[in-house]
Structure 1
């Protein structure tokens, strides 16, 4: 007798054979039937039976179109297009060839209709072919057009009958195919029944497998939640990086204005040669650090996808010459010859962002100068024929060149050929990446070829559409009586800013209606008509974003009104979110006449667009777009008083003085400083009460007013308190003391400034 284990093994083998036999019995016929069906479907697909009907219908349809074209030419020969008529005839001929060459045309080839249609088509083409050989002559011959029209009319019924025959032939074929499929379906039903019985044996295995999958799904779901949280944290970190870079830009640029300004002032002093050398080194280091900051901010903006080009008419040869003139100094210092040449056929005026175009040229020419110890550099600007509206800028140098490995990694961020170059020449390794991204945003790219010891050639291709030359630049004030007077709705909750904007808009010659929040603005828009709405970003009840979104959902013309957002927020996401909700334009705080004028002009509300504020000179240079933030002329502190230069921006304050009457200025200063309702004292009370929300609101108000009036110290401490109030860090006990100290210093600076001036002003104490 066999051991039980052997019997068990024999039974397992026995059942395995049974299962295999069952599968063979059921699956073999099933496979054979499926193979027959596949062959049948392949035959239908390869022979394209249904295309017979489609081609017959297309032939009839193209003949109808040709008939319409011929008939239109008969009725209105002067409006007829000979090329279009010839094109319709060529399309019709192509349909004849398709009908006779398609697979399975034998289904209708034996019918009398098909033979008659072939003969009639042959006769028709034989008759009209000479006429369509010269479509222009055909249009001038009414009798020939009539013959063609009659021939088409006699041919149309024949092709219509051919379409019906093709339809019937396809229907017969489909019926036969369906009958075969039905027979095979009966066999499939029987086999499927047998197979279903066999599948019951595997139900237990399937249940076990499903439970296992459920456990795996639970683990995957948990992992997915963890990945989602990680993604959210990464996005929050990215937003935090954007906010940090925006704040860093503001915080670093502000002291840089003072630093570079004082260095420039030192250059005018009587210095020894050694002191002047130290000064030049400090100035070069400061400018280099500012350039590094600009590159980092540009890369961050490009990464977030919020960098936008400001296209305007640009005089291309002038831009090239300006960059060439500026770079001549650096080239002469190294004993290099720098030459720029524009091709004679180069378009003079193009549509481009002049600031970014200069940035590309500065980067490429600057690199050529840095890496060329001797020789020359040539800049050539010509057309790029392979690119629509293409312009090619080529920078050639006789420098050290690059090997293949360096070329492959040239546009990698922070990359340089070796560390010795970084130490000897300097640079962040960001300029080329920024230039290539800018070139691609302008519809082009950058190519480079180089050999070690043989120099390098950088070629930038850009798509710059042609533009018309703008009107002549204007430097004189324009009388507002010759400009369009706008009716503006202004939402502003701070009394000082409201007073300033009222005077500003009055001087600009516009009529303004004021309200305190977005809800009131919506109510006024529902009752009255305005040309534009100026919304403060931060307002009670409804802020600028929510108000804009509500305006776009209003009924009637009010939903299409131009919306200008007034904000001091420089974070890239702010502009993106504002555009998404429907904001048309932006202007920064503190609001300046030139900025508001430019925003209104971009909205298409000013006529002419060159109008300016009375008493203010706004100079525009034709062909140059507005400078970027780091190209604007820096505002130098007043060297007459260290206290004034530290806490007071004299240029901003002087501009306010030029606009404000004495009583208005006195009222504004009281609103800021006078206890207990002055903004400073309300902020101090909120800090004493440890009320973060009120402190943040009052700090925001103080920051905006201080920026407007040029109170630098107060603006700085207010910005710090606003940032702390929005976060989770505690409001430290030293903040009220700092606010009081900066308020006292600001009032002292105002007294010093007034004592130095020629115009008396109200007391600020």
Structure 2
């Protein structure tokens, strides 16, 4: 599954990336813009399918790890509703949020990413299968349990198929898949995640009367975690960075170069790790964006070679820019000396935000700059 994911994400990177670049052209005709939007939506749907398959394979292999932290369930629910809102607005569906409990901002020990994933799946299904009316998300807070409900005024589900909904690759019938799409994995993944969190998931529904999916999780009250970076924010540095982009696919290099250049950065490219190491010896860069699988020298070996250089060269920030997204693959990048990981297909905003973060001047740099101006 990891190999298949990598091979699908690589061409998707080009499809979505260049579609986004062309869509930014102000001279596009309305018809061309609409067609590009269809390409992007189809590409994003394919990314979601690949992500579902990867998540399910990780759950099946027992490799899905939870990362609980203190958070307010009400905040997570509202965030999920905000993400789902554009899809509801496109169908003129009303979205409602109801939160009940003595302390609506109470903190509990939960995995924010996985809880949001479950809620987004339920909200996405509710919106998908509702033609008119509304979708309501409800949260009940108590000392012993957290209960989430997502109800809709959609097509409903027959009793004889409700028991099969949480099985893998299952939808109500073949017409559902043809009419609405999807892998039939979303609810199976949600059930597995909720079970890992020690909770339960279920549905109450009837044909033509909508559906109500519910999730109950044990309530583990938590205290806020002290933030170590609570100091005043660093000044924003708007200068362009000098970036070394390393990728063996010329299309990926062209796309990355275009995105970074539009973001105001200077880009030098290399087609393999050996070329990258040679360039870094002779030139200075603010950041290296490193692919992993390359001929001659792969990204992991190149990172090891850079870290062994010594001096300022060895400390240059290196980010993996790779279609390898499995946790163990990301861990290998970090173990090799990389500072972070960006997944393909590239999301422009995430790419530029990462460049800004890793090329911002340190407090020592700011102090030296201030003293030199005195």
Identify the TM-score tier after normalising by the shorter chain. Answer: 0.5 to 0.7
1:466 aligns to what SS in structure 2? coil
- State the secondary structure of the residue aligned to 2:307: helix
Q: Secondary structure at the match of 1:588?
A: helix
C-alpha distance in 2 between matches for 1:574 and 1:629: 11
Query: Structure 1 residues 587 and 365, CA, compared in 2 at 3 Å: closer, same or farther?
Result: same
Deviations 1:329-382 (A, max 9, x none): 111111211111222424532221111111001100000011111111110011
Pairing 1:446–2:201 present: yes
SS at match of 2:149: strand
How far off is 1:254 after superposition? 3.8
TM-aligned CA deviation for residue 400 of structure 1: 1.1
Q: Structure 2 vs 1, CA of residues 651 and 328 (structure 1 numbering), >3 Å: closer, same or farther?
A: closer
Structure 2 counterpart of 1:497, from 307, 312, 325: 307
The Cα of 1:435 is off from its aligned counterpart by 0.5
Structure number with the higher helix fraction is 1
Question: How much has 1:629 moved relative to structure 2?
Answer: 5.6
Structure 1 position 476, deviation (Å): 3.4
The correspondence for 2:166, drawn from 384, 390, 411, is: 411
Structure 1 distance, partners of 2:36, 2:303, is: 47
Contact persistence 1:257–1:636 (CA under 8 A): no
Kindly indicate whether the alpha-carbon contact (under 8 Å) linking 2:308 and 2:314 is maintained by their aligned counterparts in 1. no
Task: Report what 1:365 is aligned to.
Answer: 123
Which residue of structure 1 aligns with residue 17 of structure 2? 261
Distance verdict in 2 for CA 1:590–1:655, change over 3 Å: farther
Name the CA shift for 1:632/1:460 in 2 (closer, same or farther; >3 Å).
farther
- Give the whole-Å Cα distance in 2 for the aligned partners of 1:255 and 1:446: 36
The equivalences for 1:435-584 within 5 A come to: 435-471=190-226, 474=230, 476-477=233-234, 494-499=304-309, 503=312
Alpha-carbon spacing, 1:324–1:470, altered in 2? closer, same or farther (3 Å): same
Corresponding residue of 1:342: 99
Between structure 1 and structure 2, the one with the greater Rg is 1
Superposition RMSD in Å? 3.8
Distance 1:379 1:637 in 2: 32
CA distance in 2, matches of 1:493, 1:376: 52
Residue 422 of structure 1 is aligned with which of 163, 174, 177?
A: 177
Deviation at 1:651, TM superposition (A): 5.8
Match of 1:306 among 29, 50, 63: 63
8 Å Cα contact 2:97/2:137 also seen in 1: yes
Using the TM superposition, name which of 422-431 and 465-474 deviates more: 465-474
CA contact (8 A) 1:257 1:635 kept: no
Q: Which residue in the other structure is 2:3 paired with?
A: 247
Contact map agreement 2:17 2:346 (CA 8 A) in 1: no
Would you tell me which structure has more strand in proportion to its own residues?
2
Q: CA deviation at 1:275?
A: 0.5
Structure with larger RCO (C-alpha < 8 A, sep 6+): 2
Alignment-derived partner of residue 376 in structure 1: 134
**Cα distance in structure 1, aligned partners of 2:69 and 2:346:** 18
The equivalent of 2:148 in structure 1 is 393
> May I ask how many residue pairs the two structures share in their alignment?
286
Q: Is the 8 A contact 1:313 1:349 kept in 2?
A: yes
Partner deviation per Cα, 1:622-659 (whole Å, 9 max, x = no partner)? xxxxxx96899557899xxxxxxxxxxx969x979x99
User: 1:591, CA displacement in angstroms?
Assistant: 3.2
Task: Find the aligned partners of 2:173 and 2:23 in 1 and give their Cα distance.
Answer: 36
- Displacement, 1:452? 0.9
Mapped partners of 1:455, 1:569: distance in 2? 40
What are the within-5 Å matches in structure 2 for residues 13-412 of structure 1?
245-270=1-26, 271-345=28-102, 346-383=104-141, 388=144, 390-412=145-167
Instruction: Please say which of residues 320-329 and 362-371 is displaced more in the overlay.
Output: 320-329
For residues 291 and 594 of structure 1, the distance between their equivalents in structure 2, rounded to whole angstroms, comes to 22
When residues 466 and 255 of structure 1 are mapped into structure 2, their CA distance, relative to the original with a 3 A threshold, is farther
Q: CA deviation at 1:294?
A: 0.2
Instruction: Give the direction of change, closer, same or farther, for the CA distance of 1:493–1:406 in structure 2 (3 Å limit).
Output: closer
Change (3 A) 1:291 1:494: closer
Distance 1:637 1:343, change over 3 A: closer
Distance (whole Å) between structure 2 residues aligned to residue 375 and residue 636 of structure 1? 35
Identify the residue that residue 200 of structure 1 maps to in structure 2. none
Structure 2 residue aligned with 1:668: none
In structure 2, how many angstroms separate the alpha carbons of the residues matched to 1:412 and 1:594?
A: 35
Q: Distance in 2 between matches of 1:633 and 1:435?
A: 25
TM-score (norm 1): 0.34
SS of aligned partner of 1:499: coil
CA contact (8 A) 1:413 1:433 kept: yes
For structure 1, list consecutive stretches of 5 or more residues without a partner in the other structure.
1-244, 479-491, 509-567, 576-584, 596-627, 639-649, 660-765
How far the C-alpha of 1:258 sits from its partner, in A, is: 3.6
In 2, the alpha carbon distance for the partners of 1:305 and 1:631 equals: 26
Q: Does the Cα contact within 8 Å between 1:294 and 1:630 map onto a contact in 2?
A: no
Task: Tell whether the 8 Å contact from 1:401 to 1:452 is kept in structure 2 after alignment.
Answer: yes
Q: Which residue of 1 aligns with 2:334?
A: 588
Write the distance in 2 (CA, Å) between the matches of 1:633 and 1:342.
33
Contact kept in structure 2, 1:301 and 1:572, CA below 8 Å: no
The C-alpha deviation readout for 1:53-104, integer Å capped at 9, x for no partner, is xxxxxxxxxxxxxxxxxxxxxxxxxxxxxxxxxxxxxxxxxxxxxxxxxxxx
Q: Is the 8 A contact 1:449 1:457 kept in 2?
A: yes
